[in-house]
Each structure stands twice: as C-alpha cells, then as structure tokens.
Structure 1
Amino acid sequence: MLKPLVLTIGSDLPPGAQAPSDAPPPPDASTTVWLVDTDEQAGAAARLAPAVLDPAEHQRAAAFKYEEDRSRYVASHVALRVLLGSRLGLPPGRVCITRAPCPSCGGPHGRPVTGDGPVHFSLSHSDRLALIAVGPVPVGADVETLAPASTVTDIAGQLHPREAAELAALAPEERPAAFGRVWVRKEAYFKGLGIGLARGLALDYVGTGDTPPGDGLPGWTLTDVAVAPGFTAAVAVSTDGHPGPVRGA
C-alpha cells in the first residue's frame, strides 16, 4: 500500500512562489501521489484562492450551498494548482486547466488536462480529504468515505461477477471495507480513462482483497493508497507510456 506525500499549502509567500513542502524534483518519469487535509489547509488556501483559482473555479465555489463544502472545494483546487505549478515551473494562477474530449462521445467533458506541459493529473476529494496524483502519463485517483452496509447491498450486484461473489462470501461487517476497495479502484481507473461510470461497474475486475490483482487491467497498474480510518483510496497509472515508479512518502 502506498503512503502518500502530505501537502501543506504555504500562505506567507505570493502565489507565484508557492511550492509544496517536500516537493518532488523537476518533471521526471515518476508519478507522485499527495494527500491534503482540506480542513487543515482551508485558511491558507482561502488567502491564496483569489489569485490562484480561475473564473470557472470561483464560479463553482460560489455555487456551493454550505460553507464547509465551499471551503473544501477551494482548498483541494488550490492544492492541485500549487502541485501543477511546481511541476510545470509556473505560478499556480497561470496553470491552464481544461477538459480533454470525452472518449465516448467527443464532448468537452473528458479527463481534466493542462496545455502547459506534458503533465497528467487527477484530483479526488471526499469529506475532508483530497487525493491528487501528478505524473508524466495518464493517471486516475480516488478517495472515498466507507459506504454504509445498505449501499453495499444495493450496488454489489452491479459489480463484476467475481467481485460480487467475493463480497457475498465475506462476513457482513467485512463488506463495507472490501466494497470500498473495489469502488475506489474502479473510480481511479475510470478517471484515468476519462470516461467515468459510463463504462459500467461489471466490465472490469479489480478485486476486493487487500491488494489489487496484478493483471486485472491491461495497460494500467492499480495501487491502494494509505488514508485515515473510515476512508479508502487508490490510484491508477497508465503503463502504455512506460511510466516510472509511483512515488509517495
């Protein structure tokens, strides 16, 4: 299981000088995985947000009904821009984030991308945690709170038949954690592909066990990520581009 790097957002430097603590070296052949406690970083992120977020992000933040949701969104997106700016050698506010064409329909709602350099990234946030992966090849990241037993029961039948059978063989109290592993692995893979849940939950086998299967997804590797109790997380990295190691702490 990968232990992610932990990002602290600086608040005492101008946005152009921001860099993550324990920052990785300049772009290389590795993918790095970062964890952000958005509640802890909310104050620093709010101070940087006016100069860092783009108009679309400001608009999305303003649309949240609850301040807690708005604050977590701002912190996760400021964190993403700080990491991308560090990797690209740009001020965070100058990083241009757009959407790639959807692989299914060609619409402008595919995987988030930047035209500023050969860097791929993925951002996921759930409750107070955000997970960010940045690398030289397509990547997907997902973090989730553990689902209640009722959700496991409702969705288990939609999974790959082997996964559904594995869940059914477990004791009821073990199923939420196993289901969480399946869910974040699939979401990370779908985000890497840029297609989301439209692919369907039954097509790909990612397993419910403590370790993802080594050969379950041709052209991709799956790695579980260590997060706080009550959460589960994973990252998917394309192997078609011959990536280097996935790096954490």
Structure 2
Amino acid sequence: MIELVIPIPPDGPRAGLPPSVLPDPVPAPHAGPLPADPLPPLPHPLSRLPGVRPARPQLWLVETDTHRDSAVRYASLVLDTAELTRSEEFRRPADRATYLCAHVGLRRLLGAHLGVAPRSVTTRRAPCPCCGEPHGRPVLPDGRLHFSLSHCEGLSLIAVAGSPVGVDIERVPAPHTVAEAAEVLHPAEAAELAALDPGLRAAAFARVWTRKEAYLKGLGVGLGADPAADYVGSGRLPAAPGGWLLADVAVPHGHQAAVAVRA
C-alpha cells in the first residue's frame, strides 16, 4: 500500500491553505494527479496496512470487471442486511455489481485497519453540519479512522484517512450536460469554463465537479450545500478551501476523480 500525500497548491488567490495549518512536515507538491492502488479481489487477503495519519489519505481503486465475481460470491458473508437490501434495488445488473464491489471493498479495507472481520465493521451517520440531523457523512463509532466512498459505472474509489476525507469519481459528461450544469458552479468557475475551447469544457467541468463534491462529502453536507459557494478551480491544480487539502486522482481515461482531506 502506498501512502499518498496531497499536493499543496502554489501561492496565489484562492490557492488554498496558509503554511500554519499544514501538517508538519509540509509535504512536497505533487506533479500531477495522485495514484490509487488497485484493490486485490477476494479471496486474496490484504497485506498489513500502514497506520493512517491526518492529511495523508490512502486511496484504493476498485474496478468492477475485476471484482464482480468475487463480490457477488462473498457479498452475503461481508455486507450487512441494509447493504444487501440496497443492492437489490438497482435495476441494472451493472450498477448492482459496482455497488457490491464498492461496499465489499470498503468493508475489507476498514476491517483490515481495525483488525476485525469485514462484516463486524459498524458505521453510523454523523450529525449534519447544517441541521444537526443524523444524515451527515458515514463514520465509525470511535471516530479514529475516517473514510469515503464514491462509485460510478464500473469504477469505485475508496479513501481512508486519519482526518475527515471525501472522494468523488465521475464519468466525463457529454457537452450538453456541461452547458446545463455550469450555472450551478461558482461564478469564477463558470467563467473559466466559458473561456475554454468547447472541446475542453467537459473534462474541465468534471475536474471542477469531482473536486467540489469530494470537498462537500468531506464536510459531511454533500450536495445539500450550495455548490456555487466555494471555489475549487478548473485548472491543473485545485484551489482548496481554507482548512482543507484537495487533489485530483489518476483514474482510467474518460473519468475524473478527486480527494479532499481536512488538514
């Protein structure tokens, strides 16, 4: 398992965090998107995982094509009743398979970190930062380990960290979707997209959206918050909101992903 370090944005407007809030020692900037380790399918055991530290998430990529058979075979032994019930609600077999792969993978990773069987892992919803109701981000009861999960068609991304973390993975959208959705972005982000060549806008929008959703998931509010409120940028380096570190994640062509972790 590779321990990953979030890149620090360069100095400048909306560049992210002042040095005083960065972990000590300050990690060096990363030249590009962070890699994510491929998760070995069952029944292969996970090697001993390193301990997590704040602001240094461990990232794992789960490909449905690789894990489909083992996830379906072991789901009843790994997932709880609520997860199994939720999996049956998917109409498309491909979506059900991706859900099973994502949640079996997450339980395997959390179980390995906690030293318990995957099915023994228990989670709850944290209070929502906006209203206080118990529908915030999923958390472990003791709060010593933080995690986030995102999946889209055929791919899942899992992050485990020592401080609140959020991830998002999306397929790069069609151009007409970008035109419709850009109005919900921060005004500066919408202006950046409008200034691009039309052929570049879809990928840039996907960068903005995954960065934004990863950050909002890390906060525990998700899309219940106004996505236009915070600027994360559409360029090569993300602009992290105060108190957070933000990075793109390298994923297969046609997709975009990001991770946000509280500093």
Give TM-score scaled by structure 1 length.
0.88
Contact 1:11 1:45 in 2 (8 A): no
Instruction: Tell me, yes or no, if the aligned pair for 1:131 and 1:141 is still in contact at 8 Å.
Output: yes
Query: What's the secondary structure of 2:88's corresponding residue?
Result: helix
SS at match of 2:35: coil
State how 1:91-130 maps to structure 2 within 5 Å: 91-115=117-141, 118-130=144-156
Q: Deviations over 1:131-164 (max 9, x none)?
A: 0000110000000000111111111122111111
Letter in 1 for 2:145: V
Q: C-alpha separation between the residues in 2 aligned to 1:112 and 1:175?
A: 32
* C-alpha separation in 1, matches of 2:51 and 2:253: 33
Is 1:25 aligned to residue 50 of structure 2?
A: yes
- Work out the CA distance in 2 between the residues paired with 1:183 and 1:108: 25
Q: Aligned match of 2:81 in 55, 60, 85? A: 55
Residue equivalent to 1:226? 250
Query: Is the contact between residue 125 and residue 142 of structure 1 (CA under 8 Å) also seen in structure 2?
Result: yes
Structure 2 matches for 1:207-246, cutoff 5 A? 207-213=233-239, 216-239=240-263
Amino acid in the other structure paired with 1:35: L
> Does residue 87 of structure 1 match 2:105?
no
Asked if 2 retains the 8 angstrom alpha-carbon contact of 1:96 and 1:116, the reply is no
2: CA distance between counterparts of 1:195 and 1:117? 17
Deviation at 1:10, TM superposition (A): 2.0
Secondary structure in 2 aligned to 1:224? strand
SS of residue matched to 2:218: helix
Unaligned runs of 5+ in 2: 1-32
Deviates further, 166-175 or 44-53: 44-53
Q: Which runs of 5+ in 1 are unaligned?
A: 13-17, 240-249
Q: Is residue 3 of structure 1 aligned with residue 35 of structure 2?
A: yes
Aligned residues, how many? 230
Percent identity over paired residues: 51
Structure-1 separation of matches of 2:158 and 2:127: 21
In the TM superposition, residue 52 of structure 1 has moved relative to its aligned partner by: 0.8
Q: Secondary structure at the match of 1:96?
A: coil
Which of structure 1's runs of 4+ aligned residues deviate more than 6 A? none
